[in-house]
Structure 1
Amino acid sequence: MSDESKSSESNSNLPALTRQVNELVLAGSLQHAEEALSKAADEHGDYAVAEVLATLPPQVTALHLAGFDGAKTSVATLLVPPKAWAESLAYLAATWPDDMIEDDPERIAENLFNHMHGVVYATDDEERRHELLSEASSSDWGATAFAIVWSLAPKEILEVAGEIGSKGRYVTGQTSADSDIVPLAIDLAKASEDGWERSLLELFPEFRNAADLADVELPEDEDEESEFPHRSTRELLYRLRKQVPSVRSAPKRSSRRSIGTDIFS
């Protein structure tokens, strides 16, 4: 069979595969959905699977990807298009139980970090990584999602923000405590300055300029009043919950303007 015939066959099968994956995910059969995608990848190639993932409703993509993290292999994690992943982030909030937000917000934030880390670093493709981070941080809910992750290590984020502001592309990421979150923060800043500062605005609502962060320190005691207060993990989780778009309306990018210059120039 010629490549043209394979492509034609693949395109004709996409709507049926999309419906199948959609129904399996909504039925809670994530593993079967993964098997369908894996079979399609073997028969029609990765591009066909990416096309299917691009046409799934974002709330379905969120349900599917929520079942996987960096510790689990997922065809969807490897191939989800950056825009489709970015649009699905808001809907992750709809999967979080209210009692868990109240009683164990850090656990949700850790799961969100595992999810984001798993998607962003699923491959060694730096260009795809930057596209994922840029798209994911281009909306208000994306900025809030990153801020939720940053809230697990606000002191380290504050330190690395100051380092990025002063050293630009020569940032080392060295902070007072080792954190897996710092490399993600640095990669976001490299992928999208606007997205990075947008996420900082969410965590530190009084932030207005990266230079202001250089001399600000958070207290060792979390109960001590901070010179530069930040939103709690719980508060940010509820903020993202409120940002879940209506399933009747397509997600839109934020019109918020960039507030800085190229920090890595």
Structure 2
Amino acid sequence: MSDDKTYLPALSRQVSELVLAGSLQHAEEALSQAADQQGDYAVAEVLSTLPPQVTALHLAGFDGSKTSLATLLVPPKAWAESLAYMAATWPDDLIEDDPERIAENLFNHVHGVVYATDDPERRAELLAEASATDYGATVFAIIWSLAPKEILEVSGEIIAKGPYVTGQTSSDSDIVPLALELAKASEDGWDRSLLELFPEFRHTADLADVELPEDPDEESKFMQRSTKELLYRLRKQVPSVRATPRRGTRKSMGTDIFS
């Protein structure tokens, strides 16, 4: 068996070069071979050392319909740091012409990683890490913007029922279960994502009385960032390659809803 001190850095460089060259399948094959020879730990170790922009490029090629070793084994912190760089992969014309399509792809990506395994502890850790930064809150706000009415219903249920929330809403949106999982994993992350979508509110409890118009084209009297606005907002939050992603200064004012 190869010495990890030489094998893993070499594999990390190989995977990075393959991803940057656009050879995602070959990168996956290299990870698969490593898993066979060294075990899943080696793959997770390599994924934890890849630059976040490389991880973003790699995982952007997979969604809920495609599984990969990277999706299954990416460490929560490494995945969380890569989310900001997803915005760098979106063409300007697509943001302008079809922002909902990008948001749906982002949902598929997040859903695919979070639900890649049946491990509830990993799921909670993924969501907590992913929502712990300003750009992470924006990522979830982009997803919530696809179903704002349902998100408000869930928010109201959480405020009213706390740990007894069922997540039942007036629609069968796939976004609702993810929202509920985030609220359970990180109350702070949930609050921050809601306030990113509805920036006029200082506290999520205020959202309980919000009623959005039935017609999505009708202007709401409550300020709500559009999907397009949030996509551009995330684009501005992409860290420089030299910058280390850090937790933002925004603070939650919530209470422990699931205690």
Shorter-normalised TM range: over 0.9
Distance in 2, matches of 1:79 and 1:11, equals 20
Offset at 1:250?
Answer: 1.5
Q: Distance in 1 between matches of 2:207 and 2:246?
A: 30
The answer to whether residue 183 in structure 2 is matched with residue 199 in structure 1 is: no
**Contact kept? 1:11, 1:48, Cα under 8 Å:** no
Q: Which residue of 1 aligns with 2:81?
A: 87
Aligned positions of 1:23-172 closer than 5 A: 23-172=17-166
CA contact (8 A) 1:188 1:196 kept: yes
Give SS of 1:64's match: helix
CA distance in 2, matches of 1:160, 1:124: 23
Shift of 1:213: 1.8
Amino acid corresponding to residue 208 of structure 1 in structure 2 = R
Residue 209 of structure 1 and its aligned partner are, at CA, apart by 2.1
- Superposed CA offset, 1:154-175 (max 9, x none): 0000110011111111111111
Extract structure 1 runs of 4+ deviating beyond 4 A: none
Match of 1:176 in 2: 170
1:257 paired to 2:251? yes
Structure 1 residue 9: deviation in Å? 2.2
8 Å contact from structure 2 (residues 154, 167) kept in 1: yes
Query: Which letter does structure 2 place at the counterpart of 1:223?
Result: D
Which residue number in structure 2 is paired with residue 208 of structure 1? 202
From 195, 207, 223, the equivalent of 1:229 is 223
In structure 1, distance between residues paired with 2:112 and 2:258: 25
How far did 1:222 drift?
1.6
With the length of structure 2 as denominator, give the TM-score of the two structures.
0.98
* Counterpart residue number, 2:13: 19
1:258 Cα offset (Å): 2.7
Question: Is contact 2:194–2:204 with CA below 8 Å preserved after alignment?
Answer: no
Ranges in structure 2 where 5+ consecutive residues have no aligned partner: none
- What residue identity is the alignment partner of 2:29? E
Deviation of 1:60 after TM superposition, in Å, equals: 0.3
- State the alpha-carbon separation in 2 of the partners of residues 256 and 206 from structure 1: 14
Residue 85 of structure 1: SS of its match in structure 2? helix
Q: CA deviation at 1:262?
A: 0.5
For the aligned residue pairs, the C-alpha RMSD in angstroms reads 1.0
> How far apart are 1:212 and its partner, in Å?
1.6
Percent of aligned positions that are identical? 82
Deviates more, 1:247-256 or 1:171-180: 247-256
The alpha-carbon deviation at position 227 of structure 1 amounts to 3.2
The answer to whether the 8 A contact 2:195-2:204 is kept is no
In structure 1, stretches of 5+ residues that fail to align are: 1-5
1:3 equivalent in structure 2: none
Tell me by how many angstroms 1:13 deviates: 0.4
- SS of equivalent residue, structure 1 residue 236: helix
Give, in whole Å, the separation in 2 of the partners of 1:210 and 1:164. Answer: 10
Letter in 2 for 1:220: E
**Shift of residue 151 of structure 1?**
0.3
1:9 to 3, 16, 21: 3
